[in-house]
């Protein structure tokens, strides 16, 4: 017959073992809770940073669009001005030809590399030497045409300077937009990694009922949650989930 003290010692040993396992599980769950808390805080900070980065991307995108619209407007304005200048010169071919031939100082006031100067010389070449004779009797018109061409030349030069400056600003803004998008992509990747890490620390779920339930002696059991956080109280029949 087995001695009662031996049964008592075995019972105490089993109880100590259960308490040790339970304590170990409680400590592990406490660590998981602490890690989840840290990750949740980091996710909150990342979400805030992502919101700011998204706003920056949108703001730079709008600025780039506005600059492109402005650049398109300047290009249209320049094209329209050149069209009017060309029509004006065709309406005053003799005066333009006289200027090209040197009358009233010729085209010296125009930028030699400019579009107006080039077109004036082309128009003048088409008319020929007769313009010089014509200019002697129509000097007033020649002077008026010269004045209009100088103004047109200056206007086109100003448009070209504005377009060049805007192109530089546009390139800089596009660089900022790309930097903002790269920053947003990095933040999104970081947020995804944090959420994956947080999901890996979530307590296991009993498949039969789909309720959060930590392990009890290394297994997840069906049954009601234990009053002790992090444990599941096993049912009468120890059927694993």
Same domain, 54 and 66: yes
Distances from the Cα of 124 to the Cα of 54, 133, 144, 187, angstroms: 58, 13, 16, 64
Same domain, 231 and 120: no
CA–CA separation, 173 and 175 (whole Å) = 5
Instruction: Check residues 130 and 113 and name the one with the higher pLDDT.
Output: 130
Same domain, 175 and 225: no
CA–CA separation, 116 and 110 (whole Å) = 7
Same domain, 120 and 210: no
Residue 15 confidence (pLDDT): 47
Same domain, 168 and 240: no
- Selection from 134, 46, 126, 42 nearest residue 89 by Cα: 126
Tell me the pLDDT tens digit for each residue of 138-196: 888 888 988 898 898 899 999 999 999 999 999 999 999 999 999 999 999 998 888 88
Burial (CB < 10 A; 0-12, 13-18, 19+), residue 112, is exposed
What does the angle CA 31 – CA 33 – CA 37 come to, to the nearest 5 degrees? Answer: 115
- First-to-last alpha carbon distance for the chain, in angstroms, is 40
Which residues partner with 240 through β-bridges?
221
Instruction: Check residues 70 and 142 and name the one with the higher pLDDT.
Output: 70
Same domain, 229 and 175: no
Instruction: Check residues 226 and 29 and name the one with the higher pLDDT.
Output: 29
CA–CA separation, 56 and 231 (whole Å) = 46
Same domain, 140 and 223: no
Instruction: Check residues 140 and 215 and name the one with the higher pLDDT.
Output: 140
Same domain, 231 and 155: no
Domain count along the chain: 2
Same domain, 89 and 182: yes
Tell me the pLDDT tens digit for each residue of 95-111: 888 777 765 444 444 44
> What is the residue whose two structure tokens read 């780039």?
64
Whether the Cβ atoms of residue 49 and residue 184 lie closer than 8 Å to each other: no
Please report, for the chain, how many H helices and E strands are present, in that order: 5, 2
Residue 75 confidence (pLDDT): 94
Domain holding 212, by residue range, is: 204-241
Among 186-190, 212-216, 219-223, name the most confident range.
Answer: 186-190
DSSP 8-state secondary structure symbol assigned to residue 129: T
- Spell out a b/e string for 153-167, using b for 16 or more CB atoms within 10 Å of the CB, else e: beebbebeeebeebe
Same domain, 26 and 56: yes
The mean pLDDT value for 50-74 works out to 95
Same domain, 151 and 228: no
Same domain, 88 and 101: yes
Instruction: Check residues 117 and 71 and name the one with the higher pLDDT.
Output: 71
């Amino acid at each position: 017959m087995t001695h009662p003290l031996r049964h008592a010692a075995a019972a105490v040993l089993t109880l100590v073992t259960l308490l040790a396992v339970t304590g170990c599980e409680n400590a592990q769950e406490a660590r998981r809770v602490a890690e989840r808390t840290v990750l949740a805080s980091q996710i909150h900070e990342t979400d805030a940073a992502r919101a700011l980065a998204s706003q920056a991307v949108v703001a730079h995108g709008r600025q780039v669009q506005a600059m492109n619209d402005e650049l398109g407007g300047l290009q249209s304005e320049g094209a329209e001005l050149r069209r009017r200048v060309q029509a004006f010169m065709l309406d005053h071919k003799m005066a333009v030809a006289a200027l090209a031939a040197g009358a009233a100082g010729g085209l010296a006031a125009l930028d030699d590399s400019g579009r107006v100067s080039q077109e004036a010389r082309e128009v003048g070449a088409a008319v020929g030497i007769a313009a010089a004779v014509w200019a002697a009797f129509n000097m007033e018109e020649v002077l008026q045409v010269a004045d209009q061409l100088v103004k047109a030349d200056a206007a086109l030069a100003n448009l070209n300077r504005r377009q060049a400056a805007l192109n530089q600003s546009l390139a800089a803004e596009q660089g900022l937009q790309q930097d903002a998008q790269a920053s947003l992509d990095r933040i999104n990747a970081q947020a995804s990694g944090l959420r994956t890490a947080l999901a890996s620390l979530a307590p296991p779920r009993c498949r039969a009922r789909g309720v959060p339930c930590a392990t009890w002696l290394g297994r997840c059991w069906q049954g009601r949650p234990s009053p002790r956080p992090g444990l599941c109280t096993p049912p009468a029949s120890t059927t694993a989930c």
